[in-house]
Structure 1
Amino acid sequence: MQMRLTFITLVLTYGLALSVEAQSLDYRPPRGPDGNPDLNGIWQALNTAHWDVEPHGAAPSVSRELGALSAVPGGLGVVDRGAIPYSSEALARRNENRADRLALDPAVKCYLPGVPRGMYMPFPFQIVQSQEHIMILHEFAGAVRTVYMADQMPAPADSWMGWSNGSWEGDTLVIDTTGFNGMTWLDQSGNFHSEALHVVERITRRSPETLWYEVTLEDPNVYTEPWTMSMPLYRRVEPNAQLLEFRCVEFVEDLIYGHLRKQPQ
């Protein structure tokens, strides 16, 4: 009886997965004035990539005082082939980053999250779409990206969020980003890149409430070959959904500058 129930459960689960996939393939997204899919809205990832983009088990917190509240949840990972193809030297640096991540992770100090990390942090982001530009507004640190759909040009200077040019391939928004300063990480586990990073994101609306996000990273200074991550992004559907202020600079002033404070005489 137990084996029969297990078999029935597997069949139903597989059938449901096929049904969801079929609905995604048949979905016709609403269109903007230019005829392209409407991606406007507030979206958020629901996975563990923020902690580690690779497959990982649950792990204790780096802060003993916070105990289980800041422990790392296990995750299946979002890297398509499981592991990031680091060079041997880069892998050693990643391991050093991981060992001292509380001190070295730029996001701990409220620096801008970079690309693609900002897309899967546990904070919402908003897409505001027009024919000439697409804005991606992040709640974390108030980070902002402008995707230039017209008047495209190479990155004029290196920056935390890079320089993004966009185009449409059918119903998929393709964002090509370069011009990074090499100072951001990909997650809390020390996965990183250099200033040579080249990111290509592909965003496709698969249902009224989901986007499919695929991002390919190429960095000859760090990786032996290009590699890809993919994940769903979910619409925030609360009636009053909005981005709220998260001015984290004031939360870390003492962490960064506390050693400069004058001691009382």
Structure 2
Amino acid sequence: MTTKFLAQLTSVAALLALIPVHAQEQQAPGGSRIQRETTVTPIASGKWTGKRLSDGQPDVQGHWSNTIANHNNWTDPQGGVPGDPGRNGPPKTPRNERAPSRVSDPPDGQVPFQPWARAVQQEFLQYFHNPVKEQYIEPLARCAPAGVPKSFTWHGYEIRQYPGYVVLLFNSGTRIIHLDGKPHLPENIKLWNADSRGRWEGNTLIVDVTNNNAKARLARTGEFFSENAHIEERYIFNGEGTRYNYVATITDPTVYTRPWTVTIPARRFTVNDEPDGWHYEVALANQPAGKAPLIERYERICVENNGPFGNIAVISAK
């Protein structure tokens, strides 16, 4: 990239940093603030009728983003962080007019924590806006990867496919899903983005996820699991390949009373959509006449303590 282009990107990034988080979330193509949806449309597993790649994979490459909200609140996605004293204060709409909990099972929309684990989550939430100890700091505030499954709620991302692999390019880290039948990594190897082994069944990518280091929180509300967590993911794409539902079942008997399921809806963004500062974080570059424009994702620069990500701890000297 040229020095001039880098300077322009830096200016854009600086401007985006000044936009309130809730405004970025709602910014839609064309400038209207209607991006966040309040419902999740079911998509059934079945046959894939769309385009396929040379290795037989359904072609789902492109730019994607969740359609309801960022990672402020896991069980009330559009409700903000409880107790937020700043710009993301109490929600302005009734609960029944906001998107449902990402927890689709149990039916009450709550994570089935064991009592001790619920106390840990509530303690994190209590001190989120005043993190007087290191463990109260949101890991993303320290530029850590968002992890699985949180990455699907944090900004847009790109899916690329290669023979035997699906690659997810998040702005907080890259994740590789192996489709070649290789065994999982040894149990003693733990990763921020875990270890993923998948297969296609019709319109559904099924992924077995292990080896998670469990350092990431699921949201700013503090939900978590342990290194013992096992996740089965299903990426269920619609017939047009324009949307999919991420449906993952999390099992961790050391933290939860039962397995539970998360559902996160996503849609594909294309050159027909106007780039924005959240869902479709791209630059349309080099657009010669008669040819499709090249799309480049921004290289985001993470700065510790950037915005309302959970502030750096203030520990008084004694």
- TM-score higher than 0.5 here? yes
Q: CA deviation at 1:24?
A: 9.8
What SS does the aligned partner of 2:235 have? strand
Question: Are 2:107 and 1:77 aligned?
Answer: no
What SS does the aligned partner of 2:247 have? strand
| C-alpha distance 129-57 of structure 1, shift in aligned 2 (>3 A) | closer
Report what 1:243 is aligned to. Answer: 297
Q: Deviations over 1:209-242 (max 9, x none)?
A: 2112111111111111111111320112235354
Q: Which moved more, 1:35-44 or 1:23-32?
A: 23-32
Report what 2:12 is aligned to. Answer: none
Q: Deviations over 1:22-42 (max 9, x none)?
A: 999897222112333111111
Alpha-carbon distance in structure 2 between the residues aligned to 1:26 and 1:149:
19
Match of 2:54 among 22, 26, 33: 33
Report what 1:8 is aligned to. Answer: none
Q: Deviations over 1:54-81 (max 9, x none)?
A: 13774578664xx33x336554212112
Decide which structure has greater helix share: 1
Alpha-carbon distance in structure 1 between the residues aligned to 2:79 and 2:61:
34
What SS does the aligned partner of 1:42 have? strand
Question: Are 2:151 and 1:118 aligned?
Answer: yes
Report what 2:280 is aligned to. Answer: none
Q: CA RMSD in A?
A: 3.0
Question: Are 2:70 and 1:53 aligned?
Answer: no
Whether the 8 Å CA contact 2:235–2:246 is kept in 1: the answer is yes
Match of 1:106 among 139, 143, 149: 139
Report what 1:145 is aligned to. Answer: 175
What SS does the aligned partner of 1:90 have? helix
Report what 1:158 is aligned to. Answer: 190
Alpha-carbon distance in structure 1 between the residues aligned to 2:249 and 2:178:
19
Which amino acid in 1 is paired with 2:153? Y
Q: CA deviation at 1:247?
A: 2.1
Alpha-carbon distance in structure 2 between the residues aligned to 1:249 and 1:162:
24
What SS does the aligned partner of 2:102 have? coil
Alpha-carbon distance in structure 2 between the residues aligned to 1:57 and 1:50:
9
Report what 2:207 is aligned to. Answer: 175
Q: Which moved more, 1:231-240 or 1:153-162?
A: 231-240
Q: Deviations over 1:177-211 (max 9, x none)?
A: 11111211111101111111111111122134211
Alpha-carbon distance in structure 1 between the residues aligned to 2:42 and 2:247:
16
Whether the 8 Å CA contact 1:49–1:77 is kept in 2: the answer is no
Q: CA deviation at 1:131?
A: 2.3
Alpha-carbon distance in structure 2 between the residues aligned to 1:101 and 1:44:
26
Whether the 8 Å CA contact 2:46–2:202 is kept in 1: the answer is no
| C-alpha distance 26-167 of structure 1, shift in aligned 2 (>3 A) | closer
Total equivalences in the alignment? 233
Whether the 8 Å CA contact 1:198–1:218 is kept in 2: the answer is yes
| C-alpha distance 219-159 of structure 1, shift in aligned 2 (>3 A) | same
Match of 2:261 among 225, 228, 245: 228
Report what 1:97 is aligned to. Answer: 124
What SS does the aligned partner of 1:101 have? coil
What SS does the aligned partner of 1:187 have? coil
Whether the 8 Å CA contact 1:42–1:242 is kept in 2: the answer is no
Whether the 8 Å CA contact 1:55–1:76 is kept in 2: the answer is yes
What SS does the aligned partner of 2:261 have? strand
Which amino acid in 2 is paired with 1:185? R
Alpha-carbon distance in structure 1 between the residues aligned to 2:246 and 2:314:
39
Question: Are 2:235 and 1:203 aligned?
Answer: yes
Whether the 8 Å CA contact 1:36–1:171 is kept in 2: the answer is no
| C-alpha distance 109-75 of structure 1, shift in aligned 2 (>3 A) | farther
- TM-score, reference length from structure 2: 0.65
Q: Which runs of 5+ in 2 are unaligned?
A: 1-38, 92-97, 273-283, 285-294
- TM-score, reference length from structure 1: 0.77
Q: CA deviation at 1:159?
A: 1.3
Whether the 8 Å CA contact 1:30–1:38 is kept in 2: the answer is yes
Alpha-carbon distance in structure 2 between the residues aligned to 1:24 and 1:129:
20
